[in-house]
Amino acid sequence: MKEVTSMQAAKQALVAQNKQGEILVDVINHVEGIEKEMKKTAKHVEDIAEESNKNNQETRHLVEQNVDNVYLSRGQLRQVRKVVTALSNKFARAWIENNHGKNYGGGDYLNKKIGQFRSTIWHALKEHFNTDVYTEIRRIDYNNALRFVNSLTISSFEAWRVKDRLTTLDTLNKWENSKGFPLTQPE
């Protein structure tokens, strides 16, 4: 085996060091490339998150608008009409009994009074929910609408809304005339 001189050893050490240095520089360059890509990716993820947040806010706004503009379904409207009809029948019978006596006035008078109370209940319901027609009550207000109608009593209404109107009074007077009773006079 050939003996290595100190000069040759120094040369070999420098070459080996240089190779290690080159390899280290390559590794550092590669790590810097990965770091640069990670920063790009992080920025891209940030942009996506920001866009997603913006889209979520727009979606929430659209959902809120839709909720505000979705009206009662046909089934819900039918249920509200059913409650209003039952209540107007109950109120008309109670009002007639309290003001004239049970079964006073005949069927035509009762029907007029039922119609008058029905109209009064619809008016109160529309006013309560700030709508022009009851079909514009929002779907999210369905249970509140039923609760509101069921909470009404005859005394909930202004007196002029439930007193006999001229057409109702005319119907009552015809019945009274046919039975020989004194005619009810307008208030």
Are 65 and 76 within one domain? no
Q: What gap in Å lies between CA 66 and CA 71, rounded to an integer?
A: 10
Split at pLDDT 50, 70, 90, the class of 148 is very high
Residue 66: per-residue pLDDT: 67
Are 78 and 97 within one domain? yes
At 122, which helix (H) or strand (E)?
helix 106-128
What domain range is 17 assigned to? 1-69
Q: What gap in Å lies between CA 153 and CA 120, rounded to an integer?
A: 11
First to last CA, the chain: 138
Pick from 119, 115, 147: nearest CA to 134 = 119
Using the 3D structure, point to which of 31, 54, 69 is the last residue of a domain. 69
Using the 3D structure, point to which of 38, 69, 100 is the last residue of a domain. 69
* Beta carbons of 132 and 126 less than 8 angstroms apart: yes
Q: Give residue-wise pLDDT tens across range 72-118.
A: 999 999 999 999 999 999 999 999 999 999 999 999 999 999 999 99
Q: Is the per-residue pLDDT at 36 higher than 90?
A: no
Residues linked to residue 71 through DSSP beta bridges, in sequence order = 138
Are 144 and 79 within one domain? yes
Total domains in the chain come to 2
Are 56 and 105 within one domain? no
